[in-house]
Amino acid sequence: MSSVHLQTLRDLLPPGRLSEDAASRAAFESDGLTAFRCRPLAVVIPQNETEVVQTVRWCDQHAVPFVARGSGTSLSGGSMPVSDGIVISLNRLRQIIKVDPDNRIAVVQPGVINLQVSAAAARHGLYYAPDPSSQKICTIGGNIAFNSGGAHCLKYGMTSNHVIGIRAVTASGEIVSFGGESLESVGPDFTGLFCGSEGLFGVALEITLRLLPKPECFHTVLVGYRSLRAAGDAVSAVIDSGLLPGAMEIMEALAIEAAEAATQCGYPKGAAAVLIVELEGPREKIDAEKKQLESIIAATDAFETVVAADDHQRAGIWAGRKSAFSAVGKLSPDFLVQDGVVPRKRLGDALEAIEGFSKDSGLRVANVFHAGDGNLHPLILFDDSVDGELERAETLAGKILDLCVQMGGSITGEHGVGMEKREFLPKMYDEPTMELMHRLRAAFDPQTIANPGKMFPGAEAPALSSHGLHPLEKAGVISRE
């Protein structure tokens, strides 16, 4: 692909949309997985849907790979460019087309920021439930591509549970429309298939989201334990009681220490693990449930229990949790984070095994996880300037993913496979299933030009070249779940 050839794309688009200069391309060479960098051939920043479609059709016509992206917060390298391809940056397609309070839906463009949907719905007493911790900056288009999660997945599900309609352009340039404004549909759930397709099918142009009534009350409890096992037992006790908390999170000592240093969140001193449990709902129900929760926690081996007295204290508890990974990252020049899932009853075994892997490798691992749904987030600390540490960290990360598969879990709960875990996908799915996924991809993208090198193993990967916190994490704008 030459600049002369790119001129035909430039001619299609209004002036200023296509950039080939080094500075523009450098701005898009990485995403939230900073271990990978690759400079694209060019960047297109469309201002409207027509320009997106024109660009995709041009890519199809010339067999040029493209990577559509929003804010680039993917933690699995899911929006990494390819060197001979185009980046289509969708941040300017940021219109909230409508909010319909009677039917509790919002129709948005892909570049709309996650949190802005809830902001727009708030005056109707509604909100958009999926809450990845980068929700201040991540876009709905990216959330759909990677079926993003968050702290409230056990009760509310992932992004795909809140997407009811998608209009998109496939990689072969076809405009497709799936679902609609009703919560229900007739025929195969194509909308559900498109969610989580990691950009391999095409580009979402307009998305219809389901909104929920804002919970009236929150009851947030922070509990300190002398051992991780005791915290895990408490989670089991809550689950067995029949309560359905909105969130249940555990952080262990290293993460607590770092979060405390970063946010002075007031977590129990000397705790080997803290558990956050949050109930939410109408006040009549919460009044009843909080008494039940209190008696459950009292029967565990807790040494300190803090109940958030108001919104400010609740925000403080969550600030510690949400800052945990970027805070831990500051203890080390480089880190890797995984998001494998294990059956909840195997959490203790999994954490014990990870501790063993950590000792064997000589690398520290901090654990923060969504305890309610078995979603681990081990943070592997290393220093890339030390010979061999990166390789040891990657080996350790691979062992954790293998462990998740062996325990009957998943290699990813919410970050997606992306570039980072693509070699592990065949460990979850057998050959006929992998072949079927390839056929489905080909239905949308026969030339494999949409986000190539992601999800499926075997594609050429850009070289590892850089590590450390994402610039936005350093600035405290985003954090890792």
Partner 1 sequence: MSEFTSVDSVQALQELVRHSESILVVGNRTKPALSSLAAPTQLITTRSLTGIIEYEPSEFTFTALAGTTLAEINTALAAKNQYLPFDPLLAGTDASAGTDASAGDAATIAGTLAAGLSGPGRHRYGGVRDFVLGAQFVDGDGNLIQSGGKVVKNAAGFDIPKLLVGSCGRLGAITALTFKVFPRPCEFHTYQLQAADHDEASLMIATLARGRWELDAIDYRSESRAIWVRIGGAKPVCDAIATDIRRCLKTHTVEPMTDEQTAQSWTPLMQLRFGGPNRRSVVKIPMVLQQMQRLATWCDDRRDKACLHASVAGSIGWLAVADDMLQDVDSFLVDSAMTGLVLRSDPGSTGRWMLGTRRSAPIDQKIKDAMDPPGRFPNLGGE
Residues in contact with partner 1, shown as a per-residue x/- string from 42 to 71 under the rule CB under 8 A: ------------------------------
Q: Which is nearer to partner 1, 159 or 358 (CB)?
A: 159
Which of 149, 329, 452, 453 is the binder for partner 1 (CB under 8 A)? 149
Q: Which is nearer to partner 1, 392 or 427 (CB)?
A: 427
Residue 11 in the binding site for partner 1 (CB under 8 A): no
Q: Which is nearer to partner 1, 264 or 433 (CB)?
A: 433
Q: H helices of 330-453, where?
A: 347-361, 389-406, 425-428, 431-444
Which of 48, 190, 290, 304 is the binder for partner 1 (CB under 8 A)? 190
Which of 147, 220, 300, 479 is the binder for partner 1 (CB under 8 A)? 147
Q: Which is nearer to partner 1, 13 or 279 (CB)?
A: 279
Residues 239-298 contacting partner 1, CB under 8 A: 239-240, 242-244, 281-282, 284-285, 288
Residue 39 in the binding site for partner 1 (CB under 8 A): no
Residue 8 burial (C-beta neighbours within 10 Å; 0-12, 13-18, 19+): exposed
- 121: enclosing H helix or E strand: helix 114-121
Residues 317-346 contacting partner 1, CB under 8 A: 341-345
Query: Are the C-beta atoms of 209 and 108 separated by less than 8 Å?
Result: yes
Query: Number of residues in contact with partner 1, rule: CB under 8 A?
Result: 91
Query: Are the C-beta atoms of 71 and 27 separated by less than 8 Å?
Result: no
Classify 148 as helix, strand or coil. Answer: coil
Q: Which is nearer to partner 1, 7 or 61 (CB)?
A: 61
Shortest Cβ 87–partner 1 spacing (Å): 23
Which segment (16-24, 112-120, 176-184, 313-321) binds partner 1 by CB under 8 A?
Answer: 176-184
Shortest Cβ 201–partner 1 spacing (Å): 9
Which segment (58-66, 301-309, 368-376, 382-390) binds partner 1 by CB under 8 A?
Answer: 368-376
Q: What CA–CA distance (Å, rounded) separates 156 from 278?
A: 13
Residue 337 burial (C-beta neighbours within 10 Å; 0-12, 13-18, 19+): buried
Residues 385-404 contacting partner 1, CB under 8 A: none
Residues 420-459 contacting partner 1, CB under 8 A: 421, 425, 428-430, 432-433, 435-437, 439-444, 455
Q: What CA–CA distance (Å, rounded) separates 19 from 43?
A: 5
Residue 150 in the binding site for partner 1 (CB under 8 A): no
Those residues whose C-beta lies under 8 Å from the C-beta of residue 452, and which sit 6 or more positions away, are: 65, 82, 85, 459
Shortest Cβ 422–partner 1 spacing (Å): 10
Which of 209, 324, 328, 417 is the binder for partner 1 (CB under 8 A)? 417
Residue 123 burial (C-beta neighbours within 10 Å; 0-12, 13-18, 19+): exposed
Q: Which is nearer to partner 1, 188 or 388 (CB)?
A: 188
Q: What CA–CA distance (Å, rounded) separates 333 from 237?
A: 38
Which of 24, 48, 236, 305 is the binder for partner 1 (CB under 8 A)? 236
Shortest Cβ 344–partner 1 spacing (Å): 6
Q: Taking Cα atoms as reference points, which of 179, 206, 213, 207 lies closest to residue 101?
A: 213
Which of 65, 72, 316, 409 is the binder for partner 1 (CB under 8 A)? 409
The HSE-up count of residue 256 (CA atoms within 13 Å, CB side) is 22
Q: Taking Cα atoms as reference points, which of 351, 119, 184 lies closest to residue 254?
A: 351
Which segment (38-46, 51-59, 378-386, 408-416) binds partner 1 by CB under 8 A?
Answer: 408-416
Classify 289 as helix, strand or coil. Answer: helix
The HSE-up count of residue 160 (CA atoms within 13 Å, CB side) is 17
Which of 187, 310, 387, 458 is the binder for partner 1 (CB under 8 A)? 187
Buried-state track 136-162, b at ≥16 Cβ within 10 A, e below 16: bbbbbbbbbbbbbbbbbbbbbebbbeb
Q: Which is nearer to partner 1, 242 or 458 (CB)?
A: 242
The DSSP-derived string for 356-380 is HHHHHHT--EEEEEETTTTEEEEEE
Q: Which is nearer to partner 1, 253 or 437 (CB)?
A: 437
Q: Which is nearer to partner 1, 69 or 441 (CB)?
A: 441
Q: Which amino acid is at 318?
A: W
Residues 194-233 contacting partner 1, CB under 8 A: 195-197, 213-216
Residue 16 in the binding site for partner 1 (CB under 8 A): no
Shortest Cβ 105–partner 1 spacing (Å): 8
Q: What CA–CA distance (Å, rounded) separates 392 from 358?
A: 10
Shortest Cβ 241–partner 1 spacing (Å): 8
Residue 172 burial (C-beta neighbours within 10 Å; 0-12, 13-18, 19+): buried
Which of 356, 408, 471, 476 is the binder for partner 1 (CB under 8 A)? 408
